Each structure stands twice: as structure tokens, then as C-alpha cells.
Amino acid sequence: MTGHATALSRLAPEQRLRRLELAVTRRLDGLLHGQHLGLLPGPGSEPAGSREYRPGEDEVRRMDWSVTARTTVPHVRTVDADRELTTTVLVDATPSMDFGTAELEKRELAVAAVAAVGVLTAGLGNRLGAHLLGHRGVRRFPARTGRPHLLGLLRALLAVPRGIPATQAVPLAEAVDGLRRATPRRGLAVVVSDFLDGLPDEGVSGAAGPPPAWEQPLRRLAARHQVLAVEVTDPRELELPDVGLITLVDPESGRRREVPTGSRKLRERYAAAAAAQRLAVTLAVRRSGATHLRLSTDRDWITDIVRHVHAQRRLAGAARPPRREVSG
């Protein structure tokens, strides 16, 4: 337990999380949600437009007189409901995440990402749940409120054993589909993974290759929820250094292969294949309708998350129609 507490303080130190909360949640409320608009229409206070009046169903006091006068057809005002937010995080803790050549391993960066999501979505009545994909399948944590619950999720992530081959392997595609089935109420779904599972073994060529196995489940998930796909990478997955003959081990299957990194042609082929692989992930996430956030073990994760949140805020502001002036 002491080791987990030390790791938590290093990965998600209280001071840095508070800085993130001040820099993001207070100044940019409503980005991942925070003070959010309801995802479903209903009784509330936030104007959402107008629609035609339905006799016997709508109240006369909700008439939108300006639109009615302009169209000569009776219209009523519609509003968005204010609802508590339920966030569910699917975290990939399979052996491929136990890799890192920089300050953090990918698993540790995933813990930091979950901590940031927990802070950004914290609010009165908001709940956070998790699906933990490990070597023994999927472990589910019910959605609850409060920082103690968030810290418990982070400790559970850190406690997943390392270096153990998957005995009850569950594909990422199946885990994403399970997340959809387990969350019938609309909310925020966050998938934290390297997204390597489900990619075609041969012929990865960016846009030209076959889609990943998890793309269709992610598309179905995004049809109901707002989805954030957090892609966790390490720089050594993108290019090989020239360090002579090395032995590479597949963490999922345990297969080994000796690679002569002194060959410039081999390093170039590796970099090209890795770039095509990451492009395939980017295009699949985009086609699914999810928001894409890429984090790397050699970068400051807080800076990357803040930049992402700023960008989302700008996009949301640009897409939101201007409010109409209602004349008396």
C-alpha cells in the first residue's frame, strides 16, 4: 500500500492535480463536462432553440413569440436539461501497456490520464466508474462520487500485476462493446489504451489498410455517449535507435525476435510501419466520431491535456449558434 501511495504521489501529485483543476476546470468549465449541458432534452434552464407548438402538449407560457411572428407558425422554446454526469473509463492494463523508455511507462501514464479525467469531471452529483482491462479479463468498478473513490481506482490500476501473460484475454473491441452495454444512460465514456490490439498483423498501411477490430464497437459507443479516446504511446514504438543487435519481446504473446538495429534500411522500414500504424489508429478514431487525445511517455501530460481542453473549448464555441434576442 505504501508503494502504491508513493507511485500515486509521483504520477498524480496533489499539487499538480490542484493546478490542473485551477487552470482547466475553473477557467474553462464545461470542456470535458464540468458545469455541463444535459445530453438529453428536458426541463432545464439553458436555451436550446425552438420547435413548432403542439396543441394539448405544450404550455402557452413557453411560446417563442419572436419565432412565431417571423414564421407565422406557433413555436415554443426548448431547453436543455441540467443532469448529473456519469463518466465511465475503460483502461487498458494489458501487458503491452507495461512498456516505457522515458520518464513513465504507458501504464503509469494511463493512471495519470484517469486522474486528470477524475478531476475534470468532478462536481456535485457527478459519478465516475471504470472498466479495467487486464490479463484476467475485465474488472468493473461501479460509478460513485468523491475523491476517495477516484484514489481507489488509481490504486487498483497500479496494483495490476506486471509481466504476466494474459490467461483470460479479452480483446479491446469486446471490452469497448462491454462498456457500451453496461452504460445505458448517456454520459461521457473515456477509453485509455495504446490501441495496438485489433490492428491487422500484416499490411498496415494507414488509410489503405483494413479497419481495426475496435473501430466498429467504438463507433457504436460514440452513437450514444460523448467519447474521448486517449491514445498512450512511447517514442521507442515509433522509431528504433541504432544500438546494435537487440532482442524484442512481444509482451502479449511472449514471442522473441532478434533485430539488428544497426541496419539503416531496417530502421527506416520500422519507422514507416509505425507511422502507418499510428495513422490507422488516428483515422479509425476519427471515423468513429470520438474525440482523440494523444499522450506520450516523454511529454508533460498535464500540458498536453490542457492544450486539448483549450482546443475542444474553441471548437465548442465555434459550433454553438448565437443566441437570439427575444423582443418584448
H-assigned helices in the chain: 2-11, 14-20, 65-71, 106-120, 147-158, 172-182, 215-224, 264-288, 301-319
End-to-end CA distance of the chain: 64
Residue 133 and residue 159 in one domain: yes
> Higher-confidence residue: 97 or 311?
97
- Do 215 and 301 share a domain, yes or no? yes
Q: What is the mean pLDDT of residues 37-45?
A: 45
The answer to whether residue 64 sits within a structural domain is yes
209 is in which domain, residue-wise? Answer: 2-29+83-319
Which three three-digit cell numbers place residue 154?
Answer: 488509481
DSSP string for 79-112: EEBP---EEEEEEE-SGGGS--SSSS-HHHHHHH
Same domain, 49 and 118: no
CA-based radius of gyration for the chain = 23
Give the span between the Cα atoms of 9 and 16, in whole angstroms: 10
Cell of 71: 414564421
Helices vs strands, H then E, count in the chain: 9, 10
Q: Is the residue at 325 inside a domain?
A: no
Domain membership of residue 35 (yes or no) is no
Pair (268, 236) in one structural domain: yes
Task: Tell me the per-residue pLDDT of 251-303, one tens digit each, with 9 for 90 and over.
Answer: 666 677 777 777 888 888 888 988 988 999 999 999 999 999 999 998 988 88
In a domain, residue 324? The reply is: no
Per the structure, the count of domains in the chain is: 2
The answer to whether residues 122 and 67 belong to one domain is no
Q: What is the pLDDT of residue 327?
A: 45
Residue 60 falls inside a structural domain: yes
Q: Note whether 201 and 301 are same-domain residues.
A: yes
**d(Cα 238, Cα 273) in Å, to the nearest integer?**
9
Residue 288 in grid coordinates: 468513429
pLDDT value at residue 291 = 92
Q: How many CB atoms lie within 10 A of CB 295?
A: 22
Over residues 313-327, mean pLDDT: 58
Whether residues 178 and 203 share a domain: the answer is yes
Q: Residue 122: which CATH number? A: 3.40.50.410
Mean pLDDT of 57-74: 84
Residues 57 and 136 in one domain: no
Strand partners, 41: 80
Q: Which long-range contacts (CB under 8 A, 24 or more apart) does 34-38 make?
A: 34/120, 34/121, 34/123, 35/123, 36/85, 37/80, 37/82, 38/80, 38/81, 38/82, 38/83
Residue pLDDT, tens place only, 138-193:
999 999 998 889 988 988 888 888 766 655 678 999 999 999 999 988 889 999 99
Average pLDDT of the segment spanning 307-327: 64
What Å distances lie between residue 195 and 82, 188, 213, 317, 319, CA to CA? 34, 19, 10, 30, 29
Same domain assignment for residues 89 and 202: yes
User: Are 47 and 130 part of one and the same domain?
Assistant: no
Percent of the chain topping pLDDT 70: 73
Cβ proximity of 220 and 181 under 8 Å: no
User: In 3-state terms, what secondary structure has residue 312?
Assistant: helix
> What are the φ and ψ backbone dihedral angles of 192, each rounded to 5 degrees?
-110, 115
Whether the Cβ atoms of residue 306 and residue 24 lie closer than 8 Å to each other? yes
Q: Which of 49, 80, 111 is the last residue of a domain?
A: 80
Do 182 and 293 lie in a common domain?
yes
> Taking Cα atoms as reference points, which of 85, 100, 146, 152 lies closest to residue 301?
100
pLDDT of 38 strictly over 90:
no
Name which residue leads in pLDDT, 254 or 327: 254
7-29 mean pLDDT? 58
Residues 187-215 pLDDT 10s: 899 999 999 888 876 545 455 678 899 99
Same domain, 186 and 285: yes
- For residues 113 and 232, the answer to whether their CB atoms sit within 8 Å is yes
Please report whether residue 132 resides in a domain: yes
